[in-house]
């Protein structure tokens, strides 16, 4: 990894990381207030929709962790290098999953992709069939009232994915790294330790 690029990337990452994690925690807390009313279809669907959005937001943040982890720790060459989270802010969940798949050499990513694919299918069902009183999907009749248990299962899946994101983030942070940086005046900075100490 180019030294100037590394310093710039690490500085930018460190500045954004804490505020992003705080936002995720606040959003999750607010969304969970809907849980007490999840016996009502509209609350169950609202909770699922918001949690699905939170998964997308969390995934965008995780891209930045993976980007640095891959370059600084794994040093794995990836053909069609994945973009950073900020470059994909307008991407659909399906496109994000496609980019995430480029990191399938990182432990835990393949399992997450399976969960994300399932979430994406569930989410599409809600987007396309929510306001149809009786719609057919795959030969099955879908009624609005029948969406409540599906929404609650979708919310559970979202929470499972967020939990797995957090575990992957912690695993990345616990990676040992040796980082050497030089300045134009010849000063050498060395760091050996956990990646989390360098980044957040």
How is residue 143 written in tokens?
A: 């009624």
**Within-domain flag for 198:** no
Report the pLDDT averaged over residues 148-158. Answer: 90
The Cα 32–Cα 43 span in angstroms is 11
What is the pLDDT averaged over residues 63-69? 79
Average pLDDT over the chain reads 76
On whether residue 47 sits in a domain, the answer given is: yes
Domain assignment present for 99: yes
Query: Quick one: pLDDT band at residue 1, thresholds 50, 70, 90?
Result: very low
Residue 17 forms part of a structural domain: yes
Enter the tokens of residue 139.
Answer: 């030969």
Provide the pLDDT confidence category of residue 52 given band limits of 50, 70 and 90.
very high
148 part of a folded domain: yes
In a domain, 187, yes or no: no
96 belongs to a structural domain? yes
How many residues are listed for the chain in this entry? 200
The least confident of 19-33, 113-127, 149-163, 184-198 is: 184-198
Q: How many domains does the chain have?
A: 1
190 within a domain of the structure (yes/no): no
Q: Give the per-residue pLDDT at 111.
A: 94
Beta bridge partners of 137: 140
* Structural domain boundaries, residue 42: 3-175
């Amino acid at each position: 990894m180019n030294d100037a690029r590394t310093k710039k990337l690490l500085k930018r990452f460190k500045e954004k990381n804490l505020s992003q994690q705080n936002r995720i925690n606040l959003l999750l807390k607010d969304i969970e207030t809907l849980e007490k009313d999840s016996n009502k279809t509209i609350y169950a669907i609202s909770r699922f929709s918001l949690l699905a959005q939170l998964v997308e937001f969390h995934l965008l943040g995780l891209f930045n962790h993976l980007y640095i982890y891959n370059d600084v720790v794994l040093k794995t060459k990836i053909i069609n290098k994945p973009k950073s989270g900020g470059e994909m802010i307008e991407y659909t969940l399906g496109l994000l999953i496609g980019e995430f798949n480029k990191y399938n050499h990182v432990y835990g990513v393949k399992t997450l992709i399976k969960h994300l694919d399932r979430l994406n299918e569930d989410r599409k069902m809600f987007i396309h069939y929510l306001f149809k009183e009786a719609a057919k999907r795959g030969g099955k009749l879908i009624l609005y009232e029948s969406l409540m248990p599906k929404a609650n299962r979708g919310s559970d899946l979202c929470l499972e994915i967020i939990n797995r994101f957090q575990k992957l983030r912690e695993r990345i942070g616990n990676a040992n790294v040796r980082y050497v940086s030089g300045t134009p005046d010849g000063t050498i900075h060395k760091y050996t330790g956990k990646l989390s100490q360098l980044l957040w």
